[in-house]
Amino acid sequence: MSIEKDSNKLATETSPYLLQHAKNPVNWFAWNSETLEKAKKENKLLLISIGYSSCHWCHVMEKESFENEEVAEIMNHHFINVKVDREERPDIDQIYMNAVQLMTGAGGWPLNCIALPDGRPVWGGTYFKKEEWSSTLHQIGDLYRTKPEKVIEYAEKLTEGVQQTDLIKVNKEKPLFTKGYLNETVKKWSIYFDEDLGGFNKAPKFPMPNNYHFLLRYAFQNKDKTLLNYVNTTLTKMAFGGIFDQVGGGFSRYAVDTKWHIPHFEKMLYDNGQLVSLYADAFLTTKNEIYKETVYETLQFIEREMLDDSGGFYSAIDADSLNEKNELEEGTYYAWTKKELQKILKIDFELFSDYYNINSYGFWEHKNYHLIKNSSDEDFCKKHNVPISEFKSKVSNWKSTLLKERSKRKYPRLDDKILTAWNGIMLKGYIDAYRVFNEGRFLKIALKNALFLASKMIKEDGTLFRNYKNNNATINGYLEDYAAIIDAYIALYEITLDEKWLLISKNLTDTCFDYFFDIKSKMFFFTSNKDEKLITRKIETEDNVMPSSNSIMAKNLFKLSHYFDNEYYLKISKQMLHNMTDTIQNFGSGFSNWLDLYANFSENFFEIAISGKNATKKILEMHKEYIPNKLICGSTKDSDLPLLKNRNIKEKTLIYVCRNNTCKRPTEDAKKAIYQIKNIS
């Protein structure tokens, strides 16, 4: 009887990241109950390696270590090796990232963690060079074989630390939300601002859309010109910089320098969705054409490169692509040599090179330049005495010419899995773009995506799937999936007045209470109580590159409490925020979405109810003004929603501006309604 040897088990997975590792000599397993049972049965340590398809240093470590036969032999001998796509399984990533941060004080990807067969972490880190990786694995493997009690003892202590982090205590003091709290928080935060180049005064620089969305609102509502200038500087410098693809549109993950020039070239769906929403609202406050162009070019990129025929959006585009030597290289798809540009642009090169800085300012490395602007079109046209309309047409031709030329290169790897939360964020981006610019194409794409999510990602029992690939969904949704979809569907209701989206939002919210709510802390767990049990259930509260799932849920509850006159929703929203107030003020940038909710409670918030046959038209008029402290409820016919009940009067379309269940005299004039809002102190 022959015993089947272990081999790499990733070939049958759907995750593009796992499939990238399917031919490694390492005997990789996916994370599942069978893999964990195997580790326990064989009493082998788990080697958990976590990354994602567009992660540059993940590719480097794969090439140096995971494709190396000698390293693979060490790994296969001592461990059950588990590959995890952090985008599909953020629950696993959270736990082992937390463990590595406790051990080393830092984190990142690739994330590598060794754990006991039951999943309790022992040791970990991020990227390792081959020699250090091999040596360490030998030592830990031998230690577990000869002195397992030492390894177990350390794992017990580390696991206790992981379980203690992110614990939330109920704040039992009486809630008191004040403008002074917000003022003090922004003041502490502002010492880190780079007033000249935007962002924070350090490198690398991340866009952090939820930071600037809150700061835009705060500056606008408080008439803080200095802060508004800072936000506009940040958004302008990002739009001018190399972090924004000047040829094809769309934003890269972050910039490695202070002037937003050289990005880490991966493009993530969630960044672009949030930035579309941010730039759309920024346009409302400034009418700055740069912001409109940025929105339109970003969405052109999304439709060209990240939109599936089903209506779903893909997850990411890799930073690396194949160069002329057929080797993976970061940024090679996007960079240009001077010689290339001279050949392509011919007589236009001199003007182009001044505009996009084919000089020391725009130089990158190895004779390569990455396009970056440092002046507005108006200033540039004055300098060169060129009519602005003629110049804009020329820039458009440059972009289409270079995009066509660039398409001849080897395209970066595409992560074509569809994730519910990220699709919710991009859906919200399209909705916000339509709200501001009234572009029918944006609404059409938004509706197709919303219907795709409703039909493919919502199960018959009302719960959500996390992922979708090859017409197949396999993973239960996490809190961030619910939160993002609820948020997007509420926004979709506000522009379509189709109550279906509002009712789905309420149903998904009630599902969150059933499966995610922690009665002790009055917060929501990241994972459902129906999911497999990991070593702990995390409660995510910190707003990072994406807002935390709890902060989005708290904002959702706030809005839904108004729509459905639901006091329980409002009570929980308020308690969730109250639980966070001691933490928020010291770390403003890490809790900006919470601060946005705080502003709802500490300042005036308006319910705008519009009823009548022209309600949709009136809503479009209301959307022409930037009013961040409002929700819209409307119908062209009778509605049972509390804000609309008994308010439909034949032959009239009335706008009610309400606050704290008290409404102003209704008006048929949108401008008068806006005036009412602006003149309530």
Task: Examine the domain organization and report whether 205 and 156 are in the same domain.
Answer: no
Contact status, residue 622 vs residue 670, Cβ threshold 8 Å: yes
Q: Map residue 613 onto helix, strand or coil.
A: coil
Give the pLDDT of residue 681.
Answer: 53
Q: Is residue 579 part of a domain?
A: yes
Task: Examine the domain organization and report whether 138 and 92 are in the same domain.
Answer: yes
Task: Examine the domain organization and report whether 208 and 351 are in the same domain.
Answer: no
Secondary element (H or E) of residue 608: strand 606-611
Give the pLDDT of residue 660.
Answer: 83
Q: Is residue 596 part of a domain?
A: yes
Q: Is residue 170 part of a domain?
A: no
Secondary element (H or E) of residue 320: strand 320-322
Q: Map residue 651 onto helix, strand or coil.
A: coil
Task: Examine the domain organization and report whether 154 and 186 are in the same domain.
Answer: no
Task: Examine the domain organization and report whether 199 and 259 are in the same domain.
Answer: yes
**Residue 559 and residue 632: Cα distance in Å, rounded?**
10
User: Of 572, 602, 632, which marks where a domain is finished?
Assistant: 602
Task: Examine the domain organization and report whether 201 and 277 are in the same domain.
Answer: yes
Q: Is residue 169 part of a domain?
A: no
User: Of 567, 602, 637, which marks where a domain is finished?
Assistant: 602
Task: Examine the domain organization and report whether 430 and 458 are in the same domain.
Answer: yes
Task: Examine the domain organization and report whether 383 and 448 are in the same domain.
Answer: no
Tell me how crowded residue 574 is: count the other CB atoms within 10 A of its CB.
19
Task: Give the DSSP letter string of 395-455.
Answer: HHHHHHHHHHHHTTSPPPPEE--EEHHHHHHHHHHHHHHHHHH--HHHHHHHHHHHHHHHH
What CATH number should be reported for the domain holding residue 492?
1.50.10.10
Q: Is residue 279 part of a domain?
A: yes
**Residues 6 or more apart from 498 whose CB is under 8 A from it?**
492
The helices-and-strands tally (H runs, E runs) of the chain is 25, 22
Q: Is residue 4 part of a domain?
A: no
Q: Which stretches of the chain score pLDDT less than 50?
A: 1-4
Q: Is residue 328 part of a domain?
A: no
Task: Examine the domain organization and report whether 230 and 350 are in the same domain.
Answer: no
Task: Examine the domain organization and report whether 108 and 233 are in the same domain.
Answer: no
Task: Examine the domain organization and report whether 21 and 78 are in the same domain.
Answer: yes
State how many domains the chain has.
4
Task: Examine the domain organization and report whether 595 and 453 are in the same domain.
Answer: yes
The pTM of this model reads 0.95
Q: Domain containing 230: what range?
A: 179-320+415-602
User: Of 367, 386, 408, which marks where a domain is finished?
Assistant: 408
Q: Is residue 143 part of a domain?
A: yes
